[in-house]
Amino acid sequence: MQTASFTASSESTPSPADPTAGAPLAGRPAWLNRFHSLGPAFSTAWPARALPGPHWVARNEGLARELGLDLDWLASDEALDVFTGNRPWGGNASIATVYSGHQFGMWAGQLGDGRALLLGETRTAAGPMEFQLKGSGPTPYSRMGDGRAVLRSSIREFLASEALHGLGVATTRALCITGSPAPVRREETETAAVVTRVAPSFIRFGHFEHFSHNGLHDELRQLADFVIAHHYPGCADETQPYTALLAAVTARTAALMADWQAIGFCHGVMNTDNMSILGLTLDYGPFQFLDGFDPTHICNHSDHQGRYAYNRQPNVAMWNLYALGQALMPLIGDSDTALAALETYKADFPGLLRRAMGAKLGLPELDADGEIRLLNPLLQLMARERTDYPIFWRRLSEGLPGTPQFEAVRDLFLDRPALDAWAADYTAHVAGRDTAAISAAMLRTNPKYVLRNHLAQTAIEAAENGDFQPTQDLLSVLSSPYDEHPQHDALAGFPPDWASNITISCSS
């Protein structure tokens, strides 16, 4: 799996001599605002709308340290107001960006940051980072919406983004959540919240689609040049830089999909406006980590056709990349070169997924033959029995076939003869190898803790009653999910029966 949620290249990090380099976040940040500099065709300067009675719900001190934020300031009333949208931060000018996109495979036209505001971008130890408020009120792109987020969905996004980061999967990050007693109407009346998100960029496939679809080719080129200069500088040296950009985004997206599938992560709403140009997991709505292994699982209650089912995610990602390729055609010109860049997905993804799944078996070198003989029969057996996905992999890591601990793996299956036959094949495959080393590697690949729906729901219900400690406890565990955390063993158990009744939709 990828080892960092965001990585800044040396070219994208301003040098000390650069007058736009900014200052440490512990003081007043000097905002770079590079996206803002693109001009009014790309965004609209817009203030957040204040919320009454703000209070802290959760703060991510680990991320704050990475960003160079002063922890005392982060706990202050000033920071509370800043991250609720009740006061500006260091003279920044917040903006909402415009984009378009395909939603559930259909062209949706103009969309945009309907409830998100880019506070600004500043230099950090990890490179330039953008800070974005989600839920800070209506913008010019709200399309009759209220621009708000509710406590429920904000906690889910806060925990999920940090859970994926802890798992080593590329993602946006979450710095904090603030809450307010202000009512927000969804299926029922809930309370408002604002989550602060952090990423090198929140540019989406839909940003490119917007300018291409509307025939704004100068702006399309300006956006592509901006992304290349600041995020893919190596593409600038290529003979066909826009084709190279498409190929680079394709490669990152393939890697992201392999990681999602390996950890059993379902995004739930893979519209093109929810696809990051940097290959980050973006926009946590009706996501879910698999409980019982079901390749056809649909986590989004609103996805009536199953377009975004778990086993369809890799193909949907390819479909979205083709939409991006179509958007870039005015710059690329030649369809054959664009197709060649996109076709690398078909070559890269299977190998990336095989490598990720092989690592779960302690066999990162797993070849196509091993996939056929070892991996596929195992997954078919797990699918027939709906075997608990994270618990199986963790138990297998702790007790390989031939050890007494393997009995705990056998206890997960009704068809034990089928499992035993698979175990015999696995044992023959690893014969002569250091099984202790294999097990140790698997424990670093198969997490003990994932953010199951019922864990998030329990934290949400506690928070709705004014108890935010369960959210902080989950954050702590999910930030290092491969560690034991014996005091939190209960969080690694089977889901309760009521978990199957949790429904997650696009409403938030």
Q: pLDDT per residue over 321-339, tens digit each?
A: 999 999 999 999 999 999 9
pLDDT above 90 as % of the chain: 88
Q: How confident is the model at residue 394 (pLDDT cuts 50, 70, 90)?
A: very high
- Give the per-residue pLDDT at 21: 39
Q: Of 167, 183, 206, which residue is a domain's last?
A: 206
Q: Of 159, 182, 206, which residue is a domain's last?
A: 206
- Give the per-residue pLDDT at 507: 63
Instruction: State the average pLDDT over residues 301-323.
Output: 96
Question: Is residue 322 one of the residues assigned to a domain?
Answer: no
- Give the per-residue pLDDT at 27: 52
Question: Is residue 450 one of the residues assigned to a domain?
Answer: no
C-beta neighbour count of 225 within 10 angstroms: 17
Q: pLDDT per residue over 108-118, tens digit each?
A: 999 999 999 99
Question: Is residue 390 one of the residues assigned to a domain?
Answer: yes
Instruction: State the average pLDDT over residues 9-20.
Output: 33
Burial of 279: CB neighbours in 10 Å, binned 0-12, 13-18, 19+: buried
Q: What SS3 class is residue 252?
A: helix
Question: Is residue 264 one of the residues assigned to a domain?
Answer: no
Residues designated catalytic: 273
- Give the per-residue pLDDT at 55: 98
- Give the per-residue pLDDT at 126: 86
How many structural domains does the chain have? Answer: 2
- Give the per-residue pLDDT at 500: 86
Distance of CA 178 to the CA centre of its chain: 21
Q: By C-alpha distance, which of 213, 227, 203 is closest to 113?
A: 203
Question: Is residue 318 one of the residues assigned to a domain?
Answer: no
Question: Is residue 96 one of the residues assigned to a domain?
Answer: yes
Question: Is residue 237 one of the residues assigned to a domain?
Answer: no
Beta bridge partners of 56: 178
CB-based contact 409:310 (threshold 8 Å) = no
Q: Of 206, 240, 255, which residue is a domain's last?
A: 206
Max CA distance (Å), the chain: 68
Residue 375 per-residue DSSP state: I
Q: pLDDT per residue over 435-467, tens digit each?
A: 999 999 999 999 999 999 999 999 999 999 999
Q: pLDDT per residue over 156-215, tens digit each?
A: 999 999 999 999 999 999 999 999 999 999 989 999 999 999 999 999 999 999 999 999
Position 487: which residue type?
Q
- Give the per-residue pLDDT at 91: 73
Q: How confident is the model at residue 30 (pLDDT cuts 50, 70, 90)?
A: confident
Range of the domain at 141: 42-206
- Give the per-residue pLDDT at 175: 97
Query: The pTM is what?
Result: 0.94
pLDDT above 70 as % of the chain: 94
Question: Is residue 91 one of the residues assigned to a domain?
Answer: yes
Average confidence score pLDDT of the chain: 92
What end-to-end distance do the CA atoms of the chain give, in Å? 29
